Amino acid sequence: MARKKNNDKNKKVEDKDLLANTHIANAGEIIEQQITDTLEINFMPYVMSVILSRAIPEIDGFKPSHRKLLYTMYKMGLLTGGRTKSANIVGQTMRLNPHGDAAIYETMVRLSRGNEALLNPFVDSKGNFGKAYSRDMHYAAARYTEAKLEGICNELFRDIDKNTTDFVDNYDSTMKEPTLLPVTFPSILANVNLGIAVGMASSICSFNLKELCETTIELIKNKEHDCLTTMPAPDFIGGGQILYDRDAMAEVYRTGRGNVRVRAKYTYDKQFNCIDIKEIPPTTTAEAIIDKIIERVKAGTIKEITDIRDETDKSGLKITIDLKRNIDPDKLMTKLFKLTPLEDSFSCNFNVLIDGYPKVLGVRELLIEWIRFRGKCVFRRVSFELKKAQDKLHLLKGLEKILLDIDKAIKIVRETEEESEVVPNLMIGFGIDEIQAEYVAEIKLRHLNREYILKRLKDIENLEATIADMQDILSSKTRVRKIIIGELQDVIKKYGKERKSEIIEIDEADSADVAEEIPDYAVNLFFTKEGYFKKITPLSLRMGGDHKLKDGDEIKQSFETTNNNDLLFFTDKCQVYKAKVNDFADSKASILGEYIPSKLEMDEGENAIFMVVTNDYQGFMLFLFENGKVAKVNLNSYATKTNRKKLIKAYCDKSPLAAIEYLKEDSQLVIETTGGRCLLLDTAMVSPKAMKDTQGVACITLKKNQKIASLRFYADGEFAKASRYKAKNLPSAGAVLSNEDAMKKNNITFDGFV
């Protein structure tokens, strides 16, 4: 016993020494590797896996997880049978999708009718599947719910057993699964489909199935068909109102990118003085809307509401808002649309895998790709059926040869001593091939009569006609297109429904910003040469000391105004940026202020050069260029009814800007050149223009190498004889300062220089 223990101990020591002497390549070692090699060897395979096998849908409209689940349910007989427990479906799906039961069940929940996430659901559900429009309404566990396939899934699996699509091994090579489903309608655009891959994403909105199929039919007939005429906008399961902007929608249809604005639908109950909201945008939830409204009420932005509650029940979504007395519900909802997710945008990014490559396509291109895909499915199906028909015809041709001498066939079979010789003897006796002889040999004894054989032979003529028809289909693209059109018309007839989302034209007045209740009080505004801005209350200004400025900086403009005015900042890149005084916090003289290019997110290298304060957009902007031209632009040309922060082409870029000034009304201005000439210009002589980037009119004639030196408002008595400098016609050369005026020059204060 002791000797055995010693032997075991010695063996453990030997094993330990053996392990110590065993060297695993690079194990535990830190090696240098180029970052490009790391990306190529480690990261890129992961990226490709996520893009191709997880997050981006393919032309049949499904991601791999969707396809595996639906195909499993199809193989389980859930297309025609009764419902089964969701847990059973999840378990069966794991044979194709080994990512865990939770992920599979969540996929099924989203595909279900009960969850209300899809316009055309594929899973007929029973039990609590949660709601897509609710953040807090969770679905029940898989053991409590039941499901089967919806009737529309007949269109997903039609002819799937007729070689219409390729099949591949599953992850452990124990069964086959389809690479694509041979859908008979463009399901890629029939439902909302969202996915985030690595370095790219996909966001596809849903379209009305009837409109979608009709549009596809028109595209088959005419590739240049305008899709907007038959399918004007997306359609969402939650309904709502789509704010229709044809130009913006056309851009989405053309590029596959853009935004679709959707707002909630509401009704006003006069009896209870409340607003009921039953349809909301697809990008938000009832809880998010309620939380945002409560936040706005607490902040004092919304004061018309006394209570808000979620009254969602079995009948569907319902958010109720109680109002104070004498409140206009339409005005309140217009305000809520701007301040809460009751109006939101669906961001479109039609990124789809086409033949294994991700592509962002517009609606027409995407439908044309689907037509090409469906055409291949029809071609493969007809080829499969043709092969079967030809095989059957071949057998019947062999049967036809024994028609005239059935007794001979019986005699050959009866007199053949060995079973293995029956088929060869029939081949020799009737001049038929092995397949035909095998078919004849397998006929039952009871069928070896003339009546049975004649009935079978009647099928030959029909088969030959069918084969000829199928061969014609395979040789004619027009016939294939007609088949696709017929299938789409069947889908419309069986599953077509009216739109859920209402389309309304954008009313510019309605799309204007809702003016929040901004506290209005007196403020002093300061704008410096270097682009710094300060908003200071009069009290703070009186109590403060000198202005803090950067070295070399100086205050260029100052105004006494109120807190609810608009600001326009003109830049040296021919652009203007809009802001509100209220956008800036109250400041002090002792700080530098806010740097306008950073605050307003101006382009790189862009500087603010002039500020205008207005609340009515009345008056003119005057632009004086180095080439001697002057442009007068109505200030209301810079007013917008939408919340645009940046306007391009704010003034002409044909010549460098020499000076800029804001005129509330026509005035007299003094233009001075580097040659010492002055021109007294009455701005009434210059006609105002609505076009912002107008080149203007020639104002002053400049000699060679001379430029505009300054622009200033004329002060009464500034010139001893004003008529000397006054422009009678444009352009004018102006006049050199008289001796008397030259002596006064040092007492003149210049404003408005650039």
* Rounded Cα distance, 516 and 546, in Å: 34
**Environment class of 725 (CB within 10 Å of its CB; exposed 0-12, middle 13-18, buried 19+):** buried
Check: CB of residue 331 under 8 Å from CB of residue 344: no
Nearest to 218 by CA among 486, 476, 473, 485: 485
The residue behind tokens 């990261």 is 43
Q: What are phi and psi of 662, to 5 degrees?
A: -105, 130
* Rounded Cα distance, 319 and 309, in Å: 6
Alpha helix stretches (DSSP H) within 35-100: 35-38, 44-50, 64-75, 86-93
* Rounded Cα distance, 337 and 321, in Å: 14
Give the DSSP letter string of 332-358: HHHHHHHHSTTEEEEEEE-EEEETTEE
Alpha helix stretches (DSSP H) within 402-543: 406-415, 422-430, 434-441, 450-474, 477-495, 508-511, 538-543
Q: What type of residue is 209?
A: L
Sequence-distant (6+) residues with CB within 8 A of 306 are 322, 323, 324
Residue 712: half-sphere exposure toward Cβ, Cα within 13 Å:
14
- Per-residue tokens: 495: 């599953």
- Whether the CA torsion 711, 715, 718, 720 is positive or negative: it is positive
Strand pairing category for 241-244 and 343-349: unpaired
Alpha helix stretches (DSSP H) within 142-285: 154-157, 209-221, 227-230, 246-255
3 state SS of 427? helix
Query: Looking at 144, 357, 495, 662, which residue is catalytic?
Result: 144
Burial 455-486 (b: 16+ CB within 10 A, else e): ebeeeeeebeebbeebeebeeeeeebbebbbe
Q: What are phi and psi of 102, to 5 degrees?
A: -65, -45
Does 121 sit behind a cis peptide bond, omega within 30 degrees of 0 on the bond before it? no
* Rounded Cα distance, 290 and 310, in Å: 8
Sequence-distant (6+) residues with CB within 8 A of 20 are none
3 state SS of 138? coil
* Rounded Cα distance, 732 and 429, in Å: 118
Q: Can 651 be counted among the known catalytic residues?
A: no
Known catalytic residues are 144
